[in-house]
Structure 1
């Protein structure tokens, strides 16, 4: 791929899709193990977002020859968070409306979500719960990646 064709948008969308798929697979694994009602376990999926953002920033920096604009790194994290959480939110809409409508009522009875939780608010909250951490994770990751002495793997 030509250097000019590599953009932070393309990289963050690619890794956002990977992270979104990982979120869905994790949710399905929790369902298979009958743990989908343990809402606190769903927060472990933040590990996927952390890894996805770090790998996306590292790959973008490598593709750009080690040149990384600080704000591009923040944008990669935010966009990766938005894309992955939107994919998860769309999946959850299908899940609570088609596959398991009772799941929404179990979320309403948990202490994490309000009792008035609707399908639309579940959609919006899922996107918010992925977007804001995406930006914050990128902010922390950029403290490492912005350093000039940060050596990329595979380079001496």
Structure 2
């Protein structure tokens, strides 16, 4: 049995999901330090971390398996990475709003992106949804590249 047989897409997804979640938190804290939390739209730029995390997770899994990855494993990596990262961020936001800055929730309620009745629980659930569904779609897009045996660009004709 090869060591690569011990690599599961779940372990890779959870690892990179946690790393992406931590990147989201660092980005959020930097926005706070620089006084940019009131610009809610900037928070969507952190989606770049999800794109990078999913691509790196799929590549690491594929490399660990000797270049062997099936399409559904790639989709599962993306979806799971999205769920884990957004859950980490959602838990952080609940703690942040509950203990550090409850005015942040009011700021979200005042934006046109969230309803005025937004609660902490609803924000937690929306955060997970906003990270999970894109995770699946990003993996679907990434797998168009990674499903190839050598995942290189095709030669020019």
Common fold: TM-score over 0.5: yes
Is the 2:67–2:150 contact (alpha carbons within 8 Å) kept by the matching residues of 1?
no
- Equivalent residue number for residue 34 of structure 1: 35
Alignment size in residue pairs: 151
- Equivalent residue number for residue 107 of structure 2: 106
- Equivalent residue number for residue 90 of structure 1: 91
Q: Deviations over 1:75-102 (max 9, x none)?
A: 0000000000000000000011110011
Q: For structure 1, which runs of at least 5 residues remain unmatched after alignment? A: 152-156
Aligned residues: CA RMSD: 1.0
The aligned runs of 1:108-147 (5 Å cut-off) are 108-147=109-148
- TM-score, length of structure 2 as denominator length: 0.94
| Inter-partner Cα distance in structure 2 for 1:20 and 1:52 | 10
Q: Deviations over 1:51-106 (max 9, x none)?
A: 00000000000000001010000000000000000000000000111100111111
| Inter-partner Cα distance in structure 2 for 1:119 and 1:150 | 42
- Equivalent residue number for residue 11 of structure 2: 10
Q: For structure 2, which runs of at least 5 residues remain unmatched after alignment? A: 153-157
- Equivalent residue number for residue 154 of structure 1: none
- TM-score, length of structure 1 as denominator length: 0.95
Runs of 4+ in 1 over 4 A off after TM superposition: none
Following superposition, the deviation at residue 3 of structure 1 comes to 1.6
